[in-house]
Chains A and B, each alone.
Chain A
């Protein structure tokens, strides 16, 4: 009972954070709302018994990625967002579209997916199990993903480096 109440509470905070993320006009408030979303998602994982995933969610998303977001916002000193004609159109079409989409997805999930209810905490994910899955059963996908991330990092470095230093590196081989 307490589990269900907490689960709903974290769900509500998560949705509220997501809505606030869209409503807020200052980028730093939006970024902080996203931190709240990440944190409450970690709470949901914790309640479902996936402690390791919850901790990683906090460390990686809330503790590292969002810090970099905020770092960039601070560095650029981004100002308040301005409303334009386009944003009004997006509001008019976007909100009803979102509502219809959410209802459709919920309807499909509840009525037609054929999945059953799972008790809270019924699928535990201790670190050892996750490690075994990652480095044994799914080793190849894991390694392919890491190569993909490496390529992304290299791409970011090339894009971010000043043109002169890239040419210099090319000349030097």
Chain B
């Protein structure tokens, strides 16, 4: 419950951060009226969404129309349950990992759950019974299925180096430093190509600019959520931002060394610092997300597909083969 609360708050404030940062990039202020620096804006937005009239267009296929946003949000929130946010801590005599469940196939579970997230988008597009929604849904499902392959392949290099599917083991494999100052993060262990493949594929998976073809405003009105209003509409966006946070968490765990960082000070500070280092990485990753959104234009659809299949996929396979070769030579 606590993790879910933190996640949803993080979702709300990622939206705020995005509006602020994109505002600054475009030389304007972003939200300023509600609270200091517009900090209460997410609360106001939430209230607005709850009290808005929930319109259901007459020609929709109702069961799926209602189920689609729920599916999106459920799968987006479920994947947080296996993500560890820090090392073991002892609180009031209880020694516990900072994670909801530590399963030894954690990474596979995340991949599985996020791959189910396509259903929300696809069904929303189909059940709305509108041509813009249908096109958006088709684009989204094609794009997500295509880029999922490159995403999965880019992760296998990391898995080979750690020899485990458990996210905790993968982070533990990245502890320590080279020569005393270069941290042994996977990104410095030759997985830098995989990191960039992951970054690109993750943008496409979460339907963000420059890969936001499913909701391209200039051609499709709003894509798969054209016919949705009020809280149902908000649920799609909560799912999108929750997915962004999951992706950022995974990137920090798999490539950037998780919660490893300099530890100092009294015991209480030493217990909190790993969480802080982890949160910092996630924040930087989210900031890059927003930065990219503020600066890059959108792809054309055929470019998007060609890029995914003809460039990203072969690159991911090459990276996998080379990593496997080096690991085999070492052992």
Contacts and interface: CB of A to CB of B under 8 A. Distances in A.
Contact of B109 (A32, A55, A68): A55
B112 A59 contact: yes
A15 interface: no
- Main secondary structure, interface of A, reads helix
B165 A67 contact: no
A52 B119 contact: no
A64 B115 contact: yes
A28 B137 CA distance: 14
Contacts, number: 67
Interface string A72-92: 011101000000000000000
Question: Among the interface residues A51, A55, A126, which one has the most CB atoms of the partner chain B within 10 A?
Answer: A55
A99 to B, nearest CB: 30
B65 to A, nearest CB: 12
Contact of B165 (A59, A62, A63, A127): A127
Contacts of B115: 58-59, 62-64, 67
Contacts of A77: 134
B122 interface: yes
A56 interface: yes
B122 A51 contact: no
Interface residues of A, number: 22
A132 interface: no
A62 B116 contact: yes
Contact of B119 (A35, A55, A56, A73): A35
A47 interface: no
Given A28-B64, A51-B105, A55-B105, A71 B122 contact: yes
Contact of B125 (A56, A63, A64, A74): A74
Interface of B: 64, 103-105, 108-109, 111-113, 115-116, 118-119, 122-123, 125-126, 134, 137-138, 141-142, 145, 148, 165
